[in-house]
Structure 1
Amino acid sequence: MKRKKHTSADDDAQIDMTPMLDIVFIMLIFFIVTTSFVKEKGLEVNRPKDNNSPQKPSKALSIQIDELGQIRMNGRQVDIRRVVANIQTFLAENNTDSAAIQAHEDTEHGTVVEVMNQAKEAGIEKVSVLVKGA
């Protein structure tokens, strides 16, 4: 007698999964397409517009110091002890964060430094110093 070569049943019995996957994907597409999206009922909220642009400063504060140490702010003479109050008044009326100090070349440095300190104390963030010759 001849003996047959014994083969396992697992080798011959394989199932092809491709058609089943095709059917699953077709059903998935069908359900996605036929689904109706219902808008939920509720109150509409009116949100304010987003304004990311910061307000531009209106104008810079101008402070002039002449060779005698006299201080002028926007064309008006000011006492050195009243610089902070005048700057705060200016800031209340104008939106700015910078000041330009125009000093004469013969002005004492202590006066210029005092005006710079008072401007910082009043709330000016950016102070620039310009030296004006005779």
Structure 2
Amino acid sequence: MLVHSKRKARYSVQMPMTSLIDIVFMLLIYFLLTTNFMVDEGIKIKLPQAKAAAPQTEEVITVFVDAQGRAYINEEEVSMARLFDRLKEKIGAREDELVVVRADRSVMLNKAVKVMDIAKAAGAGRLCLATEKEL
């Protein structure tokens, strides 16, 4: 009499996906949270808010105007009398140079307009008043 042993059902080996999915979600949450904490360096000002604000991507000359009306270029305070000369140096011969004015929301409109007027007189081809997106 022939005795055949019963064949055991083969179990397939599966990789545990639960822990991998957990790790992927943790990485996703980490990157989402850290991208919100990237800060724009410069003078501490509170920008005015606008609904149609768009991010600026090209290299520009940025003039900061703080709450007291003082002007800064690259974190260096510049008097209104010297602002024209400093902007003229930075703009050079480029006719289509963009100058962004980042004025504090509490500054008098007259100061921000005066800085924009000086930038235009120094040869800026385009002017932009920076805002932050309203949430």
TM (norm. structure 1) is 0.50
SS of the residue corresponding to residue 81 of structure 2 reads helix
- The aligned counterpart of 1:128 is 128
Query: Is residue 74 from structure 1 mapped to residue 74 from structure 2 by the alignment?
Result: yes
Q: Deviations over 1:40-77 (max 9, x none)?
A: xxxxxxxxxxxxxxxxxx83101111111111012211
- Pick 1 or 2: higher relative contact order, CA cutoff 8 A, min separation 6: 2
SS of the residue corresponding to residue 103 of structure 2 reads strand
**Which of structures 1 and 2 has the bigger CA Rg?**
1
Contact 1:60–1:96 (CA under 8 A) maintained in structure 2: no
- The aligned counterpart of 2:112 is 112
For 2:119 and 2:101, locate their aligned partners in 1 and report how far apart those are by CA, in whole Å.
Answer: 10
Q: How does 1:42-57 map to 2 (within 5 A)?
A: none
- The aligned counterpart of 2:103 is 103
For 1:94 and 1:75, locate their aligned partners in 2 and report how far apart those are by CA, in whole Å.
Answer: 23
For 2:107 and 2:83, locate their aligned partners in 1 and report how far apart those are by CA, in whole Å.
Answer: 17
Q: Alpha-carbon deviation of 1:131? A: 3.9
TM (norm. structure 2) is 0.50
In the alignment of these two chains, the number of paired residues is: 75
- The aligned counterpart of 1:32 is none
- The aligned counterpart of 2:89 is 89
SS of the residue corresponding to residue 116 of structure 1 reads helix
For 1:70 and 1:93, locate their aligned partners in 2 and report how far apart those are by CA, in whole Å.
Answer: 27
For 1:93 and 1:68, locate their aligned partners in 2 and report how far apart those are by CA, in whole Å.
Answer: 32
Question: Percent of aligned positions with the same letter in both sequences?
Answer: 17
Unaligned runs of 5+ in 1: 1-57
